[in-house]
Amino acid sequence: MASASSACTPYELYSKESGKSYGNQPLSICDESFTPLEVRYDLQAARPLFTRKNIEAGPLNMWRYRSLLPIPEGFEPDLPVGLTPLVRAKNLGKRVGSQSLYVKNDAVCFPTLSFKDRVVAVALANARAFGFETVGCSSTGNLANSVAAQSARLGLKACILVPADLEPAKILNTLVYGARLVRIDGNYDHVNRLCSLIADQYHWGFVNVNLRPYYAEGSKSVGFEIAEQLGWRLPDNVVVPMAGGSLIRKIKKAFDELIYLGLVENKHVRFFGAQATGCSPIAQAVKNNTETITPQRPNTIARSLAIGNPADGPFASRMIRETGGWAEDVSDVEVVSGIQELAETEGIFTETAGGVTTAVTARLLSQGRIKADETTVLCITGNGLKTTDCISNRFELGRAVRPRLTDFEEYLNELDGAVQEPELALAEGD
């Protein structure tokens, strides 16, 4: 018999706009309102299941929240995905002017080092239940890595489509798992449109096309974890990188469910979105006070966020403004500085998306939109080892040193001298 913590709450797909219910099937768009379908739960049935006690007795991964995730009856997840560290970021806080800054570190998410492991885990559980033998996705990189790895583990065939100019590490991190990878001569929006056509034609489960409503729910686990790791409290602000605009919405949905079920106190949390200037359709919509997304042609090193026509963009823009939050965008130079700042202050090496989030957080604090004494959580969603090309030219390798103490000391003096030179020059000029 399933224990209380592993029991499921009944759920189904429905459209918020038309109110139409769809049961459970691989479908993502309402045929009446043409808007994305959502998963809704029987929240009364969830009450005795989704309790602090049951959650705390659950496994040390995101499946501790399974009674509010769309997991098909009988599916026993065995990959320990999620429950990544929430770390107090005192050093970064000092640098950017926050006394209560936290980093939610999905750069170390299992198994492929990004928050996409969460959404894929939920999507593939449903792919299996719907009987798909082949799964796939359109991806800006991290999703490709995660679908490839988790489908290998589950014994599903994978066919993954990406823009041809993706970072080499993200290509390699897909191929190594034996997935079929198709590089498309176009940007993410071209890739995504092609995937919709393929999903109509073939009986394949595309995690972010026909399985999208289930997939997106996996992101709620980030919100559940933040609240539990803060001691069952909600922060004042959350700063979230945005591509399609799904993650930021689902963290909000998680907080709303926690409040509704009484696991945390009712508190108004403000949501802040982060994008790179070279692809910032949602940030522009927020700044223009509109839900209308004007599609952009992406041109940024933050490739994981490079979605010019984001599926959840209108809803993300509305939600951010309703919470009293804001969205900002930063240049590629600031993205690289953000990566380095987080590494130097907190010892966390993030990919370009995290550089975006760090730089945007600094900007929001300097603008006064986020106050120094408010508790702010910065969502770091991917790992820097996948995007080393954007930062490698910042560092010199240095010459090889002979294995002798004197040579080592000489080299150390050279290094220290190189650092001190500008100060000496200044002192002499005084």
Ligand X SMILES: Cc1ncc(COP(=O)(O)O)c(C=O)c1O
Query: Residues in the site for ligand X, rule: CB under 6 A?
Result: 114, 116, 140, 142-143, 241-247, 304-305, 351, 353, 381-382
Sheet architecture: strand order including 21-23: 21-23, 11-14, 38-41
**Cα-flanking dihedrals φ and ψ of residue 254, to 5°?**
-60, -45
Nearer Cβ to ligand X (122/143) = 143
**Residue in this structure with the two tokens 């056509």, named with its chain if needed:** 197
| Least CB distance to ligand X at residue 295 (A) | 15
- CA nearest to 375, candidates 280, 283, 269, 296: 269
| Least CB distance to ligand X at residue 389 (A) | 16
Nearer Cβ to ligand X (54/220) = 220
Nearer Cβ to ligand X (107/127) = 107
Nearer Cβ to ligand X (217/346) = 217
Nearer Cβ to ligand X (241/308) = 241
Nearer Cβ to ligand X (54/142) = 142
| Least CB distance to ligand X at residue 248 (A) | 6
| Least CB distance to ligand X at residue 115 (A) | 6
Residues near 275 by beta carbon (within 8 Å), at least 6 away in sequence: 241, 242, 281, 282, 283, 302, 305, 327, 328, 329, 356, 360
Nearer Cβ to ligand X (69/243) = 243
| Least CB distance to ligand X at residue 121 (A) | 15
Residues near 309 by beta carbon (within 8 Å), at least 6 away in sequence: 189, 281, 293, 295, 296
Residues near 187 by beta carbon (within 8 Å), at least 6 away in sequence: 163, 297, 298, 306, 308
Q: What is the DSSP letter of 154?
A: H
| Element containing residue 178 per DSSP (H, E) | none
| Least CB distance to ligand X at residue 125 (A) | 19
| Least CB distance to ligand X at residue 91 (A) | 23
3 state DSSP class of 197: helix
| Least CB distance to ligand X at residue 185 (A) | 20
* Core vs surface per residue 341-356: b (16+ CB within 10 A) or e: bbbebbebbbbbbbbb
DSSP string, 295-337: -----SS-GGG--SS-TTHHHHHHHHHHTT-EEEEE-HHHHHH
Nearer Cβ to ligand X (245/278) = 245
